[in-house]
């Protein structure tokens, strides 16, 4: 199998970056990166694209029971002079780990969102947003293909707008100009929002997405209430 075919290489690099490439497949790809610069470059590009999402996820602290279980099963006195592999693993940035886990969840539930299709199909460039609540808990994922006219949103946890209001999603331009309305977000589950223009035109100059709770049933051209849920919007290509 030729792993250097463009579509296949991009799919492998993406899976490696988000952590869904495991076992022998992961070892083969890491050997491919050592032997072929184009493979290493593809992996680095995917890691750079996903980094903003991971950076928004709060640190993930393992439960005490996890530490105790690892110590009981993996700690060896003979290796006490140097950290065990699990100690080195947990020393990695917790945000990046949480981000990889979150992206894995997304792919399992909606594999087509960022092109997790057959290796023989082209990888679709997309805009992807990860929004968190005031406590830093990931709340909503949004995705739209680069030239698409719809935005798919999925609630990672339910939201509860105050009575008489609804959750409206906004795109926040980099230059600080007026937010762009994207539509009403459901309180739970997922939905597809129609866009007023192709994604490339709407999101090209956007760096964040946000939600405000606006009066229900009333058209809003700009937020009239505080932004309560927000997060980065990045392009994946």
Between CA 215 and CA 77 the distance in angstroms is 63
User: Two tokens at 205?
Assistant: 């100059």
Contact 230, 126 (CB under 8 A): no
For residue range 32-58, list pLDDT tens digits in order. Answer: 888 888 888 788 777 766 666 655 555
Between CA 140 and CA 129 the distance in angstroms is 8
pLDDT at 79 exceeding the cut of 70:
no
Q: C-alpha angle with apex 220: 217 to 224, nearest 5 degrees? A: 110
Q: What is the pLDDT at residue 51? A: 63
For residue range 11-30, list pLDDT tens digits in order. Answer: 888 878 777 777 888 888 88
pTM: 0.56
> What average pLDDT does this structure show over 218-228?
90
Q: C-alpha angle with apex 153: 59 to 213, nearest 5 degrees? A: 85
Other Cβ atoms within 10 Å of 9 Cβ, number: 22
pLDDT at 86 exceeding the cut of 60:
no
Other Cβ atoms within 10 Å of 61 Cβ, number: 9
Contact 184, 209 (CB under 8 A): no
| Cα dihedral 88→90→96→97 (10° resolution) | 120
For residue range 104-134, list pLDDT tens digits in order. Answer: 445 444 554 444 444 334 457 888 888 898 8
Q: Dihedrals φ, ψ of 190, to 5°?
A: -140, 165
Q: C-alpha angle with apex 146: 52 to 232, nearest 5 degrees? A: 20
Q: Dihedrals φ, ψ of 136, to 5°?
A: 85, 10
For residue 229, the SS3 value is: strand
């Amino acid at each position: 199998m030729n792993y250097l075919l463009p579509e296949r290489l991009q799919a492998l690099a993406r899976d490696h970056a988000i952590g869904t490439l495991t076992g022998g497949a992961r070892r083969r790809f890491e050997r491919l990166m050592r032997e072929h610069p184009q493979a290493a470059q593809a992996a680095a590009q995917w890691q750079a694209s996903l980094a903003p999402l991971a950076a928004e996820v709060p640190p993930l602290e393992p439960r005490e029971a996890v530490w105790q279980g690892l110590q009981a099963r993996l700690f060896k006195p003979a290796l006490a002079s140097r950290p065990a592999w699990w100690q080195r693993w947990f020393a990695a940035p917790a945000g990046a780990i949480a981000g990889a886990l979150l992206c894995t969840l997304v792919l399992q539930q909606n594999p087509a969102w960022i092109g997790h299709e057959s290796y023989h199909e082209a990888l679709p460039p997309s805009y992807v947003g990860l929004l968190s609540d005031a406590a830093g808990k990931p709340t909503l994922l949004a995705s739209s293909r680069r030239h698409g006219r719809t935005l798919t949103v999925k609630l990672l946890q339910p939201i509860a707008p105050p009575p008489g209001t609804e959750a409206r999603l906004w795109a926040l331009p980099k230059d600080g100009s007026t937010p762009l309305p994207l539509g009403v977000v459901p309180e739970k589950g997922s939905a597809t929002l129609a866009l007023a223009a192709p994604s490339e035109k709407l999101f090209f100059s956007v760096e964040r997405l946000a939600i405000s709770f606006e009066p229900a049933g009333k058209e809003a051209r700009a937020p009239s209430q505080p932004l309560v849920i927000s997060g980065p919007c990045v392009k994946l290509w």
